[in-house]
Amino acid sequence: MSNKNKLQRFAEIARLPNVFENFDFHDPHINDIQGNRMDIKGNWNKLVFQKEKPIVLELACGKGEYTTHLAQANPENNYIGIDIKGARIWKGATLADQAGLTNVAFLRTRIELIQSFFKKGEVSEIWITFPDPFLRDSKSNRRLTSHPFLDRYTDVLKPGAILHLKTDDPTLYAFTLKVLSERKDYRILESTDDFYGAVVPTPETHLLTFYETQHLAAGKKITYIRFTLNG
Ligand SMILES: C[S@@+](CC[C@H](N)C(=O)[O-])C[C@H]1O[C@@H](n2cnc3c(N)ncnc32)[C@H](O)[C@@H]1O
């Protein structure tokens, strides 16, 4: 994407009522569209969605396919897509805005900051969709299913809440199973190294993301793990 297009998307994002952002480890807060500071931690349902519903996150959401499609299919939940890249979030946020979806928001930030924006037990479910695998061992702590990230998720999830990981990367798939086996209180509800060969299709599990479409076209197998971290 050209720089001009990116700049245009950033300008449009600033006008979208469903996008919030913060990158500041030292001052992790978000502003509303008028620039007013929001005390968001523990208050997403009250301040953003204005309705008390279970909150579902899509981490590394990119263009937010799971966030927008699941929100449309499940109006009984509130969905928040999280990614660092604004030009990608723009796509999902624009679609959600045009469709008039009131149960969708996007948060542009580092997932490392998740505990700054959600209080203990505020989140009911997490989708992690095709995260970067960070294949070098020296970067394994940046994988979104490494121990430091799973600790952060445990801190914001309700007890027994479900997490889903979809990835095309066999290394990340094996790494995640190993990391889980090293933890207490985890449960693997389903795991497969050939998702489309194994999992009975539902509209929820068989939703294709942008990257997934490319991986499938390249003949790659998709892997999937459904698990809990805390009971
Ligand atoms: C390979 S893309 C997948 C996007 C989308 N889920 C899909 O399947 O099309 C990985 C995404 O993770 C985001 N990402 C990676 N590390 C992140 C982090 N620590 N915090 C927030 N976003 C991150 C990147 O910006 C990128 O959009």
Q: Where are the domains of the chain?
A: 3-228
Distance from Cα 88 to the centre of ligand 1, integer Å: 9
pLDDT in tens, 175-201: 999 999 999 999 999 999 999 998 787
pLDDT digits (tens, 9 = 90+) for 54-64: 999 999 999 99
67 ligand 1 Cβ < 6 A: no
Predicted local distance difference test score (pLDDT) of residue 166: 97
Domain range 3-228, CATH architecture: 3-Layer(aba) Sandwich (3.40)
Pocket lining: 131 vs ligand 1, CB cutoff 6 Å: yes
Q: How far is the CA of 143 from the centre of ligand 1 (A)?
A: 11
Residue 58 has a pLDDT of: 98
Residue 204 has pLDDT above 90, yes or no: no
Q: Where are the beta strands (DSSP E) in the chain?
A: 19-21, 30-31, 37-38, 55-59, 78-83, 104-108, 123-129, 157-167, 187-192, 223-228
* Ligand 1 atom 13 nearest Cα: 60
Pocket lining: 13 vs ligand 1, CB cutoff 6 Å: no
Residue-wise pLDDT tens digits, 119-170: 999 999 999 999 999 999 899 999 999 999 999 999 999 999 999 999 999 9
Question: Which ligand 1 atom is the nearest neighbour of the CA of 111?
Answer: 20
Closest ligand 1 atom, CA of 112?
A: 19
Ligand 1 atom with the smallest distance to the CA of 85 is: 25
What local confidence, expressed as pLDDT, does residue 10 receive? 75
Check: CB of residue 144 under 8 Å from CB of residue 128: yes
Beta carbons of 48 and 128 less than 8 angstroms apart: no
Q: In the structure encoding, which two tokens stand for residue 130, read together? A: 């095709």
